Structure 1
Amino acid sequence: MSKLILCFILIFQINLLNGQDIWEANWITYPDSQNESNSWFSFRKDFDLKKLPEEALAKIAIDSKYWLWINGEMVVFEGGLKRGPNPKDTYYDVVDISAYLTIGSNNISVLGWYFGKDGFSHISSGKFGFLFECITPEITILTDASWKVIQNEAYQTCPSPFPNFRLPESSIRYDATKDPGKWYANDFSTKNWKNARVLGTPPMSPWNKLELRPIPQWKDSKLVSYAQAPAFPFQYNRDTTITCILPTNLQITPYLKIETKEEGHIIEIITDNFMGGSEPNVYAQYVSRKGVQEYESYGWMNGHKVIYKIPAGVKVLDLKYRETGYDTEFAGSFTSSGDFLNSIWEKAQRTLYITMRDNFMDCPDRERAQWWGDVVIQAGQSFYALDTLSHLLIKKGMYELINWQRPDGTLFSPIPAGNWDKELPVQMLTSIGYYGFWNYYLNTDDIQTISDLYDGVKKYLHIWDFNDNGAVKVRHGGWSWGDWGENIDLELITNMFYYLALKGAANMAEDLNLMEDVSEYRQLMEKIKIVVNSDFWNGTAYRHPDYKGKTDDRSQALAVVSGIADKEKYPALLKIFKKEEHASPYMEKFVLEALFKMGYVDYAIERMKNRYGDMVNHPEYTTLFEGWGIGEMGYGGGTTNHSWSGGPLTLLSQYLCGIEPIEPGYKLFQIVPNPGSVKHASATIQSVKGIIKSSFENSNDIFKLNVTIPKATEAIIGIPAEKITTIKLDNKSIWKNGSEINNKEILKYYGIENGHILFRVSDGVYYFEAIRND
């Protein structure tokens, strides 16, 4: 049974247990808590058990994060999600603890971390609280005044430089001289601990309604050795720096085991991504006690290298790390005869994964923020690169976007956020439109989510105004951002993205049977298309009359991918794409997609190599950059792991190898490769219907295509038509000299469209061989 199915079963069981959000447990806190930022608390509950439950679902909520042990064994490593599902409410986890319970004495121990500050990915409640509830016929465990608690004073805050204001997390300093011991072990006594203070039962302020965590708990590698590190034990008689190499860019928590003869040695732990995008990220410090000791810093970091600054007098016995991250597998793959294409796809996949955790994020260092312009590009990659558990993170972000919608209809991101509230109109249009919400539905067939969120989409579209000629007026919102870089024709970009938003909304409305809305949207689309082609096309390029810069390559690309530009304009547009290069890596995805859609495959690949070459070929990084360079050469600060640069991953799987859904949920899809001069390429994706494969070999004499079509689906197969005289399926002729030859394995022959000979097939594995003749 797949992890996704198990996840949905668990959610169903939890919803049954929840009833109408009735909770018996109380929110509790440390009695002397001052709700200071970066506060840590240890809770413990000892109890006896006469009979083991077959299942024991514990519901756990906290602001902000927790670590759970039962009978000394770690059960959850970093539970809890950053607040919030909307501006007021809080997420809660559900964990089956039955496997960790024993007959007789038991203890539940929880370490809680209170961020205590807002960020671009978290809205602080302003108050620390913890909630635990587990009710079965055999056991009832509820947070109340009987729970024991201390403020864990070993956890402190590192000195400056502090993390930049976008991050709610603090840098963690651990003073082992204040270590309370193994307080989660069965034989530990809490006689000197205080009883917890009861605050009340949910829903109550400031945490309000509790919403079930919609994504899995993190993947956890446990502690593992570095790819490269010195041999241990290791000791210098002077201060030294040890650099440990990770196998790739990872989200990690660093570990050390040391021996010292005196207390007070300060060890600093930092990664090569500490200055992520020019502003400080998090780091860690450890203050030693005497003797042999080990410590793992629970604040996750990311990078390719972990750097330990070791003072004289410290013997290093071992250094390790734990990788954690979103629980999804690299189910998609791509290979080809082009080394560059393979590298950019692989680096994009790695960059995508490093930007997933509580939410999709622009980068894992400077911000960790769910900018929805980034999410649209990331979601597109997820469908081709990851397994279906990744869909849950997209869905979470969609609900958050609409649940944070203001009463006046405006949308903004990043959300959740406690210190950001500015609308980026173009990004919001992208989010709710064809490449955003519609693409999610097209890949998942999740009509319930679309039904739930559609009114928010409609509300946002209706706050926009129009000029007398039918063009959309630019909304300046809180930040009139169209892209990084220069030569941005914002009027034109706005009209293109509003058109794409209407296109996505019309498709969603049609599947929701809201035909009046469909008619409204399509009439608006026609008006925009007319005005763009009549008023903004000057015969050689699309330009708004008021725009004075160089011709904007982004605008031309959007005209193509939206369907506004007709084929007669393609040669003129190609000339522009060969001359103008203004798009950032984020918007370059649409430029390259336009080239693929127009049929200029070889130039699309040539431009891809030219534009992305520096970051793809850079030997020090396994991830893609925010801008075309790093640091001062990059945009927005220049991070080295920005998944909005991964658009080529989607294009290589979708266009080069040709895999694309036609009907929601891949009930019907196409495999229509566009090989250009690429000699061979193959792609595998995990769709909601199962594994899909496309693999071609391309030479002057023959084109071979192997496809795998999952059960209960049908696919339209496209063979490039140029110079083809004969097509065989499993060594039997099915097409010759322009005519179909009857074959029971072919459901339908469509003829030649857009340069491809099209056939429809049902589920199975097929081998096509097309003969070329000069």
Structure 2
Amino acid sequence: MIFSSSGFNRTLLAAEHGDFFKKAIPVWIDSRNVLNKSGEYYLTTSLKTGSKQSEENLTANFRATFKVENTDDVVLKLAASSRYRLFVNGEFLGYGPCVAGHGYYRVDEYELADKLQQGENIVAIEVVGYNVYSYFQINQRAFLQAEICQNKKVIASTGTGNGENFFEGAILQQRKQDVPRYSFQRAHCEAYRLSEDYRQWTIVSDVDYFKPLKLERTPEKKVIQRRVKYPDYTVRKFQEHVNDSIFKFECNSTGFIGARVEASTPVKLRLFWDEILNDEGELNPYRMNCQNEITYELAPGSYDLESFEPYTLQYLKFRIEEGEAVVKEVYIRQYVNGDVSDATFACSHEALNKIYGAAVETFKQNALDVFMDCPHRERAGWLCDSYFTSRVAYSLSGNTLIETNFLENFLLPESFEFLPKGMLPMCYPADHANANYIPNWAMWYVLELEEYAMRSGNHQLIVDSRQRVTDLLNFFEPYENEDGLLESLDKWVFVEWSKANKFVQDVNYPTNMLYASMLESAANLYDWPELHKKAENIRKVIREQAFDGQFFIDNAVRENQKLVPQKNNRTETCQYYAFFFKVATPETYPELWQILVNDFGPERTEKKLFEEIYLANAFIGNYLRLELLSQHGEVNQMVEETVKYFEPMVARTGTLWENIHTRASLNHGFASHVAHAYYRDVLGAKDVDLVNKRICIEFNKHDLDWCKGSIPLGDGLLTISWEKKGNKLMYSYDAPANYNVFVSNNTRLKLESSK
């Protein structure tokens, strides 16, 4: 059956023409400004040969100079593409923008009072127009739209005029333009040619090298609210010297790399970094096909250097290739989530405390305005990963602000360039110019929508998402075979980073298990009962075709027009998919369930059990395993296995990884899900319903002696503590008065309130 819908309800976008700017218009460097042979820009009256709005890797420098008698109620609003960095009187204030879907731009707002002085002030904004396809930000033409108001009166704005009420724009050519890409997922590397006064343009108005250029008006922009909270820019200093040139930070960290450099001669300085050192104790900045390096060419003088882009590293190396210089005061200005300070957790098992701390670090670095998978190789938000990270955001922040932005971004464009109708980008906001997509990840979008509806109570976004879900169902319909199973899906059919990814054609049973749950979520969201029947039929067919009497087989191949299950293609991950997506239950497949509980898991390789069943990887197999153990009352085992899975990661990087090995990202957003699991299964915060003001506390059976923690509720704080004393479990909690709290006990101990 092909589903239809009446179209998008775009009430979410009602603010796109809101009152964000009173006078400011979007501008960029006029395309008639061209370089002469001396390397200086001049304005020509000839016809434009190319737009600077679409010029690759061009850095433009904007500033407004203004005077105030007092510093009260001064606010800067701005929107930009691609990335900006903001200074007030030479002091760093912010970085952005907050990302949106194609055709839309979110407005950032900064209160300036604490940074201003009586008399003359300078607000300076560096904007880089990357104009390349990436998984970092979408490829949209460069512009800046900015406005400074005091008491709601405009005192400076972007425009095409001159004078003290306008921002000026220049191209200082401090950052080199013709450089390689950092990675195919991100934009360009950083390379600089600087003199000692390179930052003076942000501090004083009479700087000879800041020569204002003609600005041009760009097309009008659809601007919408930022919504999410602003980042934490706390400076993290290095902890130790590994050797004369390598600095080590306390853990894997994300932010802007900074240092003070004193050059006594002309110097060429290169910075290299990575998350780990190799087995020989050396740093490999190209471990993940990334260019983890910055080059500086410096005239003699003293410099306070800081990278424009955020990077992820634990180890940082400085190499002076030419000249003489001293490097000191090395730091990272963190660029991380600033909305988790009220969340706490501690228990009697110190390993769990360290894992929780690493989970929070991992979350903070991967959750700014969307849910990223990693904050270095790429910075867009991936579906599926977001299903898990969104739970963590709810637990650590007590709101769904980032998730709302993340899901809203998928609604903003009318369609997605390069992708077939109905398919969603696998990561977004990003461009998929090679037309690649992961059909499985689009299914997770619907599962997340269902959980989001319960978390947020935002029914309007669910209504607005109906057409996206409808189009997705219509996309999959032609791939259904005579049994109702998806067969021969195109593009990147992805199960997980393991042998399971080798068995994805022609019929991949884990994919169809997920498909059944996607249909079920759509049925629940939009009251489509026929999808419930369709989902259950898919599960029935999988049981008949894929179960070999002991394990579920991963795939079937079409041979002589007949579908033949491949009996040797069996993976650990496929078994977890079966139970997680309701194809199997411990009651219907008790022998298989006992194998999973007792014989599979982190020690199976060491014990040499069921070696013919291919191993799972961290994501998604091991995470599904942990969730299944929790769902079916094996909480103590779940807790013990988190230590076996994650303690080695914590010891090496202080963050949690993409895989069970070090050949990929060692800082991956979904991995923070263990923090949510600890709140739910160890602390006892089973269900926190912010919409209906209802909290269910459930104490589980495990070997811990005590636990305490706090969880933000948006409008308050939930605190829980418990301690075992003899045959009693002494507990207490505190929640806002308008919440109903229910307590249940899965232990064999007698509950007793310690209030």
Residue in structure 1 matched with residue 665 of structure 2 by the alignment: 639
Give the distance between the partners of 2:641 and 2:373, measured in 1 at CA.
24
Give the distance between the partners of 2:617 and 2:537, measured in 1 at CA.
29
Conserved? CA contact 1:114–1:128, under 8 Å: yes
Cα deviation, residue 23, structure 1: 6.2
Structure 2, unpaired ranges of 5+: 1-11, 35-51, 276-283, 557-564, 601-612
Residue in structure 1 matched with residue 212 of structure 2 by the alignment: 194
Residue in structure 1 matched with residue 560 of structure 2 by the alignment: none
**Distance 1:553-1:682 versus aligned 2 partners, 3 A rule:** farther
Give the distance between the partners of 1:94 and 1:365, measured in 2 at CA.
26
Query: In structure 1, which of residues 207, 212, 233 is the aligned counterpart of residue 225 of structure 2?
Result: 212
Confirm whether residue 431 of structure 1 aligns to residue 445 of structure 2. Answer: yes
Conserved? CA contact 2:363–2:672, under 8 Å: yes
Conserved? CA contact 2:728–2:751, under 8 Å: no
Give the distance between the partners of 1:18 and 1:526, measured in 2 at CA.
46
Q: Secondary structure at the match of 1:710?
A: coil
Structure 1, unpaired ranges of 5+: 1-11, 204-208, 231-239, 510-514, 632-637, 731-765, 768-774
Query: In structure 2, which of residues 472, 487, 492 is the aligned counterpart of residue 479 of structure 1?
Result: 492
Give the distance between the partners of 2:59 and 2:113, measured in 1 at CA.
27
Deviations 1:606-634 (A, max 9, x none): 44444445434xx3311122211112xxx
Cα deviation, residue 430, structure 1: 1.5
Cα deviation, residue 251, structure 1: 1.6
Cα deviation, residue 47, structure 1: 4.3
**Distance 1:711-1:296 versus aligned 2 partners, 3 A rule:** same
Give the distance between the partners of 2:229 and 2:116, measured in 1 at CA.
22
Confirm whether residue 152 of structure 1 aligns to residue 164 of structure 2. Answer: no
Confirm whether residue 629 of structure 1 aligns to residue 661 of structure 2. Answer: yes
Residue in structure 1 matched with residue 584 of structure 2 by the alignment: 565
Confirm whether residue 299 of structure 1 aligns to residue 309 of structure 2. Answer: yes
Confirm whether residue 117 of structure 1 aligns to residue 132 of structure 2. Answer: yes
Conserved? CA contact 2:76–2:109, under 8 Å: yes
Residue in structure 2 matched with residue 250 of structure 1 by the alignment: 253
Give the distance between the partners of 2:210 and 2:684, measured in 1 at CA.
66
Cα deviation, residue 394, structure 1: 1.9
One-letter code aligned to 1:173: A
Confirm whether residue 227 of structure 1 aligns to residue 239 of structure 2. Answer: yes
Deviations 1:381-419 (A, max 9, x none): 2223x2236x32222211223445547211122112224
Residue in structure 1 matched with residue 710 of structure 2 by the alignment: 684
Q: Secondary structure at the match of 2:737?
A: strand
Cα deviation, residue 151, structure 1: 0.9
Conserved? CA contact 2:82–2:137, under 8 Å: no
Conserved? CA contact 2:365–2:375, under 8 Å: yes
**Distance 1:532-1:19 versus aligned 2 partners, 3 A rule:** same
**Distance 1:535-1:709 versus aligned 2 partners, 3 A rule:** farther
Residue in structure 2 matched with residue 658 of structure 1 by the alignment: 684
The within-5 A match list for 1:754-769 is none
Query: In structure 1, which of residues 387, 391, 398 is the aligned counterpart of residue 397 of structure 2?
Result: 387
Query: In structure 2, which of residues 152, 158, 161 is the aligned counterpart of residue 143 of structure 1?
Result: 158
Q: RMSD of the alignment, in Å? A: 3.5
Confirm whether residue 64 of structure 1 aligns to residue 78 of structure 2. Answer: no
Residue in structure 2 matched with residue 574 of structure 1 by the alignment: 593
Residue in structure 2 matched with residue 310 of structure 1 by the alignment: 320
Residue in structure 1 matched with residue 5 of structure 2 by the alignment: none
One-letter code aligned to 1:171: C
Query: In structure 2, which of residues 640, 652, 655 is the aligned counterpart of residue 620 of structure 1?
Result: 652
Deviations 1:12-42 (A, max 9, x none): 9x95993498865242325526454332222
Cα deviation, residue 368, structure 1: 2.4
Q: Secondary structure at the match of 2:397?
A: coil
The within-5 A match list for 1:444-523 is 444-465=456-477, 471-474=484-487, 476-487=489-500, 491-509=508-526, 515=527, 517=528, 519-523=529-533
**Distance 1:549-1:625 versus aligned 2 partners, 3 A rule:** farther
Confirm whether residue 554 of structure 1 aligns to residue 573 of structure 2. Answer: yes
Report the TM-score when normalising by structure 1: 0.78
**Distance 1:355-1:277 versus aligned 2 partners, 3 A rule:** farther
Query: In structure 1, which of residues 520, 525, 543 is the aligned counterpart of residue 535 of structure 2?
Result: 525
Q: Secondary structure at the match of 1:139?
A: strand
Conserved? CA contact 1:246–1:304, under 8 Å: yes
The within-5 A match list for 1:730-745 is 730=753
One-letter code aligned to 2:79: A
Give the distance between the partners of 2:649 and 2:20, measured in 1 at CA.
52
Give the distance between the partners of 1:573 and 1:604, measured in 2 at CA.
18
The within-5 A match list for 1:263-278 is 264-273=266-275, 275=285, 278=288
Deviations 1:263-283 (A, max 9, x none): x21111222237475211442
Cα deviation, residue 213, structure 1: 2.6
Cα deviation, residue 324, structure 1: 2.4
Q: Secondary structure at the match of 2:442?
A: helix
Conserved? CA contact 1:401–1:413, under 8 Å: no
Cα deviation, residue 652, structure 1: 2.5
Query: In structure 2, which of residues 382, 398, 408 is the aligned counterpart of residue 399 of structure 1?
Result: 408
Confirm whether residue 583 of structure 1 aligns to residue 616 of structure 2. Answer: yes
One-letter code aligned to 2:486: K
Query: In structure 1, which of residues 129, 135, 143 is the aligned counterpart of residue 143 of structure 2?
Result: 129
Conserved? CA contact 2:722–2:731, under 8 Å: yes
Report the TM-score when normalising by structure 2: 0.80
Q: Secondary structure at the match of 2:381?
A: coil
Conserved? CA contact 2:147–2:157, under 8 Å: yes
One-letter code aligned to 1:328: D
Identity, % of aligned pairs? Answer: 17
Q: Secondary structure at the match of 1:409?
A: coil
Confirm whether residue 592 of structure 1 aligns to residue 601 of structure 2. Answer: no
Give the distance between the partners of 2:525 and 2:688, measured in 1 at CA.
14
Give the distance between the partners of 2:617 and 2:454, measured in 1 at CA.
27
Residue in structure 2 matched with residue 771 of structure 1 by the alignment: none
